[in-house]
A and B are shown apart, each in its own frame.
Chain A
Amino acid sequence: MTSTSERQGSTACGHPSPQDRLAALLDSASVEPLHPHDESGVIAVRGRVNGAPVTAYCTDANARGGSLGVTECQHIVDAIEAALREDCPVIGLWHSGGAQLSEGVASLDAVARVFAAMIKASGRVPQLSVILGPAAGGAAYGPALTDVIVMAPAGRVFVTGPGVVREVTGERIDMESLGGPDAHSKKSGVVHVVASSENDALRRARRITDLLASPGVFDPVSVSGPRDLRALLPDRARRAYDIKPLVQNVLDADNNDDPFEEFQPGWAPNVVVGLGRLAGHTVGVVASNPIRKGGCLDSAAAEKAARFVRMCDCFGVPLVVLVDVPGYLPGVGQEWGGVVRRGAKLLYAFAEAVVPRVTLVVRKCYGGAYIAMNCRALDATNVFAWPDAEVAVMGARAAVGILRRKELAALSEDQRDEVRERWVAEHEHTSGGIARALSLGVVDAVIDPTETRFVLAKALAAVPAKRGSHGNIPL
C-alpha cells in the first residue's frame, strides 16, 4: 500500500494517514486492502481485532478533506458487504466533510448507497464508528446508523457546521460547542463512548469489537469467591446511591480496564447501560441508577435502554438487568415530551428480545417501571431479588394513604399514626413485599447477595443462546 506521504499534496493538512489509523486499530500485520490502491479519499481493508476477523474503512482527511464521492462511498459499501458475507464486525474511522461538492448529486446518491448498505447490515453484523475529526452531513448520518459511536477529543459531529448555522439562523457557535464530545455525550446522546485521545478511541473500539466478536463461553464455576455486593448499598432505604460500583462488581474484573464498558454515561444517566463479561461471557447490563433522578425511568432513559437492549438482542448478547426503580418520572415536561410513546419502546424492546435476560431487584421496583425493567410477564429468563427487596405498585405507605384516605381522615390525630403503621404492615403482607411476589411467581427466588454473580451467570448459561432477527434502528 502506498503511504499517504507518497501521495501528492496529501500531507499538507498534517492529519494521520488512514493507513496509520487502520494499523493502530487492527492487530499488527493483519491489514489486507479490499481494493487496489487508488487516489480516492477512503481505504477499505480486512483485518483482525484480538484475532477475530473484521473489515474496516477509513476516510482520508488529507484527500479533499475526506469528502465522500462515488469511489469513496463504493469502498465503504464494499467493506460493509464483505462484513455481511463473512459475518464479522465492520469498523469505520471517520474524519470527513461529508458529500463531495465537486461530484454534485452523484455524491449524494453515493452517500445514500452507504446508508442503504448500513441499514441492510443493521442487526446482522456489529457496525462501529470512530469519530477522529470533524464528521459532517453524510459523515454524521453514516455513523448515526451504526450500532456504536466512539468519539476522540478532536471528533465533531453535525449536520451543518458553524458557518452554515450562522448564515441560516444567525446563531454564533464554534465547532466544538456545536458538535464536540461534550455536546454529544451530555446533550444529544449521539455518542456512546467519549475517549481521552485518538489512541484511546481506537483502543475502546477494539475492546467493544472484542466483546461483540469474541463473546466467550459461560463458566459459572469460574466466578471467584463470594462478594458481599449488598455492602455497596447505603444503610437507609430512602437514600440514593451510585449503581456503578455494583455493576462493576457484578462483572468479571479486567486487568487492564474498567470491567464495565459503559455506553452514553453522560446522557440519560438515570439508567446505566454497557458491556462487560460475566463468568467469561460477554453480557449487556441495564441498570437503574438511583443517584441520578432517583433512578426513575423517563423518556430519554427508556430510549437509551431500549436501543441498547435491541442491539444486544441483535448480536446474541445476554442481558443482566439490575433494578432499583421508584417508577416512571411524573410531570408535565415528561408527559408532553412523549414519555408514553418513548417509554413504550423499552417495554417493546424487552418483550421482543430472545437473548437470555435475567433481572435482579436489588432494593425496590415500583409501578410501571416494574414492568419496563424486564419483568416476568415480559418473558424474563429469571427474576431474582435480594432479601428485603420490595416489588409493588407503589410503596406501602403511599398505597395505604390512597386506599385508606377517608378512614385515615376520620381518625383522631393521636390514633392516626399508630393505625397507619398497622395498615402499612398489613398492606406489605398482602399486596407488596417480596413474599407476595414469590407466591405469584413474578419473582423466582430471593438470593443470597454474596452469590449474585454465580446465580446470574448460571441462569444466563442455562437457557439456549438465541439471538434476535431484526435491525438496530437508532431509536
Chain B
Amino acid sequence: MAEEIRAEIVGYVIEVVAAEGQAVRRGDHVVVVESMKMEIPTVVEDPGTVTSLHAAVGDFVNEGDLIAVIE
C-alpha cells in the first residue's frame, strides 16, 4: 500500500534527503523542514521505495502538504 508522506508542520524545506526511486526503511528521513527554529525531519513509517517526491529545497510547506509517496 502506498504511504503518503505529508508535512506535519508548517515551514521551509531546507534539505531533501531521499531521492525518487530510492529504497527507504522505517525511520529514514525524506526531507528536513525548518520550523519553530528547529530542523525537523519527516520520517518514513512503512518501508518501501520513493515513487514520487514533491518537495525541493526552499519550498514553503503547510501542514498536510504532500511531500513524497512511498510504495
Contact = CB atoms under 8 A, between A and B. Distances in A.
Contacts of B41: 240, 291
A296 B27 CA distance: 20
Interface in A201-247: 236, 238-240, 242
A293 B40 contact: yes
Which bracket fits the contact residues of B?
Answer: 10 to 19
A270 B9 CA distance: 11
A12 interface: no
A364 B49 CA distance: 36
Nearest to A397: B37
B65 interface: no
A331 B41 CA distance: 20
B9 A293 contact: yes
A296 B39 CA distance: 13
A271 B40 CA distance: 15
A89 interface: no
Given A292-B8, A293-B8, A294-B9, A239 B39 contact: yes
Nearest to B35: A294
Contacts of A292: 8, 43
Given A326-B36, A327-B36, A296 B63 contact: no
B8 A290 contact: no
A292 B8 CA distance: 7
Interface residues of A, number: 18
A290 B10 contact: no
A329 interface: yes
Interface in A370-414: 395, 398
A292 B63 CA distance: 12
B38 A290 contact: yes
Contact of B63 (A236, A242, A333, A395): A333
A294 B38 contact: yes
Nearest to A234: B39
A187 B35 CA distance: 23
A236 B34 CA distance: 14
Contacts of A236: 39
A291 B37 contact: no
A240 B63 contact: no
Contacts of B39: 236, 238-240
Contacts of A242: 27
A293 B35 CA distance: 8
B44 to A, nearest CB: 12
- Interface pairs A-B: 6 shortest CB-CB: A294-B36, A326-B36, A240-B40, A294-B38, A293-B9, A294-B40
24 contacts: A236-B39, A238-B37, A238-B39, A239-B38, A240-B38, A240-B39, A240-B40, A240-B41, A290-B40, A292-B8, A293-B8, A293-B40, A294-B9, A294-B35, A294-B36, A294-B40, A296-B9, A296-B36, A326-B36, A326-B37, A329-B36, A331-B10, A395-B37, A398-B37
Interface of B: 8-10, 27, 35-41, 43, 63
Given A294-B35, A326-B36, A333-B63, 10 more contacts: A240-B38, A240-B41, A242-B27, A292-B8, A294-B9, A294-B38, A296-B36, A326-B38, A327-B36, A398-B37
